[in-house]
Amino acid sequence: MVLGLRDVFTAHSVLQGVIRRTPVFAVPDSTVYLKAENLQHTGSFKIRGAFTLLCDPAFRSGVVTASSGNHGSALAYAAAQQNIPACVVMPQDAPAVKVAGCRRHGAEVIFCGHTSSQRQQRAHDVARERKWAYAESYDHPRIIAGQGTVGLELVQQMRELGQVVCPMGGGGLISGIALVIKGLAPHVKVVGVEPKGAARMTFSLASGTPQVLTTVDTIADGLRVDKPGAWTFPLIQQLVDDVITVDDDDIRTAMHRLFYDHKLVVEPSGAATFAAFLAGHLNITSHTALIVSGGNIDASRLDQLVAPSGSSGENGSVSGKKESSEVEVVINEGRAEF
């Protein structure tokens, strides 16, 4: 199968009436904007790819997947919409809110290990035992096409778009977005962000071939993927302009600022792009969209990570250059429709 821009437009049509058209928030005193996929159904962008995938008749008898949580919850939601039985294999330390999300939509949850490879192997075993279909969480053309609809919305909502910054786990989201951006607006730069403790894409791109991490260590549970995908890696090689890393302290600061300054509940994975901005890792020379990919986090964990500290108070500077005690939020809903 050849994956192209037409596949993303097809996914966009399939998803009409299923997903939310998430808003874009302007960061005051800057040319930076936040694409709030944390406000999407099931709390993350994952519903886009999951629903698109399950439109394939091969999944009608039942579906099994491996997920740290967001994909599992999205798949459970999509499966429930189409009356398909679902099972999600999750890490043993999966956040309770993500486990509850899967179960709330009727999926069975099985716990296994801590790495993506461990849960993927268990999910494949379950799929064989039950004669159900295995659903990839990121490395499938339908998943990539569905996630690419985020890029279509951005092209509508930001007429002066010059750069898109996207968190990277397995690479499904950034692959889909890059496919759209380079197809419709090739002058726009696409940048990926991953945690230093799970920098599988950085190492893989440096070596020229997909690399498997022996350990992953980051608070960003949604980005604890130990290897790139067979579909996503070549797309990222070809279409993504740059990849940068952020540390967990940067992510904590970003979550704090998103919560207090922008009133957005964002999980660590979703805050990675804002972390890169606050830490000064991005070259902001034009209108830049930061993908805030998810907001599924336990209340106790959120309290722990965003608690005020001496290094990042509610009245701190958004960009590190200008103090501001007032928060202004501007929502750009976009005007054009496909």
Concatenated DSSP letters of 286-331: SEEEEEE-B----HHHHHHHH--BTTB-TTS-SSSS---S----EE
Place of tokens 């035992």: 129
Quote the CA–CA distance of 129 and 141 in Å, as a whole number.
25
Quote the CA–CA distance of 291 and 293 in Å, as a whole number.
6
Told to judge if 293 belongs to the known catalytic residues of this protein, a careful annotator would answer yes
Phi, psi of 7 (to 5 degrees): -65, -35
Extract the tokens encoding 95.
Answer: 């956040």
Q: Rounded to a whole number, what is the distance in angstroms from the first to the last CA of the chain?
A: 25
Quote the CA–CA distance of 110 and 103 in Å, as a whole number.
11
Is 225 in contact with 172 (CB distance < 8 Å)? no
Catalytic residue among 35, 46, 98, 182: 46
Integer CA distances (angstroms), 205 to 178, 209, 241, 260, in order: 16, 7, 11, 36
Q: What is the distance, to the nearest Å, from the Cα of residue 105 to the centroid of all Cα atoms in its chain?
A: 20
Told to judge if 46 belongs to the known catalytic residues of this protein, a careful annotator would answer yes
Catalytic residue among 67, 68, 175, 293: 293
Active site residues: 46, 293
